[in-house]
Amino acid sequence: MNTAKSDKIVEKFRKQKVKFLRKNYQFTGDFEATPEEIFPLLCPTREADWIPGWNADLIFTESGYAEDKCVWRTDENNSNGDGVWTFTGYKENEFIEFVRFRDDLIIHAKIDLLLQDDGTTRITWNVTTTALTEKGNKMVENMPEGSVGRGSVIDMIEYYLKNDDAIGVPTHGH
């Protein structure tokens, strides 16, 4: 097999002076709720209900809610910053997987939901961030790596499940 062209691409990559960084981190949370109760919250539309400052512009979805290959955009006013997002894996009540494209980073995340023997649900976020530029390298350098315990998103979901409102937002009727 003639691999001269592909060999040149690999050689060019190996000779690059600037190497782009990548970090992986993971966090988990346990909830007094079923996957069926939690999964619908993991949606670019529904996140507006439980993440303070969340807003998204839907680009492609048949239903208006989370679904396989759904695409949406967030801008700099979003609590999570700007980016173009797409689901790359989706199995209702079991997992979602998405990629978020930004100018300097690509973020790949998989969120797994597991019903445990005691009736609670464990959610695990596995996140991989890859720099695309030198500015991205600086951003990745400051990110956590490995198991980071409990992410703030856990607190937001937990609060919403208990209070039917976003954390830091007055509950209805008060």
In tens digits, what is the pLDDT along the chain, a chain of 174 residues? Answer: 999 999 999 999 888 887 999 999 999 999 999 999 999 999 999 999 999 989 999 999 999 999 999 999 999 888 888 999 999 999 999 999 999 999 999 999 999 999 999 999 999 999 999 999 999 999 999 988 888 877 788 999 999 999 999 987 555 444
CB atoms within 10 A of CB 90: 17
Q: Which residues have C-beta within 8 Å of that of residue 67, sequence separation ≥ 6?
A: 61, 87, 90
Structural domain span for residue 55: 19-163
> Is residue 169 included in any domain, yes or no?
no
> Is residue 83 included in any domain, yes or no?
yes
> Is residue 96 included in any domain, yes or no?
yes
Specify the CATH number for the domain of residue 122.
3.30.530.20
Q: Which residues have C-beta within 8 Å of that of residue 104, sequence separation ≥ 6?
A: 131, 132, 133, 135, 136, 139
- Please tell me the pTM assigned to this model: 0.87
> Is residue 4 included in any domain, yes or no?
no
Nearest Cα neighbor of 31 from 156, 130, 174 is 156
Looking at the structure of the chain, the number of domains it has is 1
> Is residue 74 included in any domain, yes or no?
yes
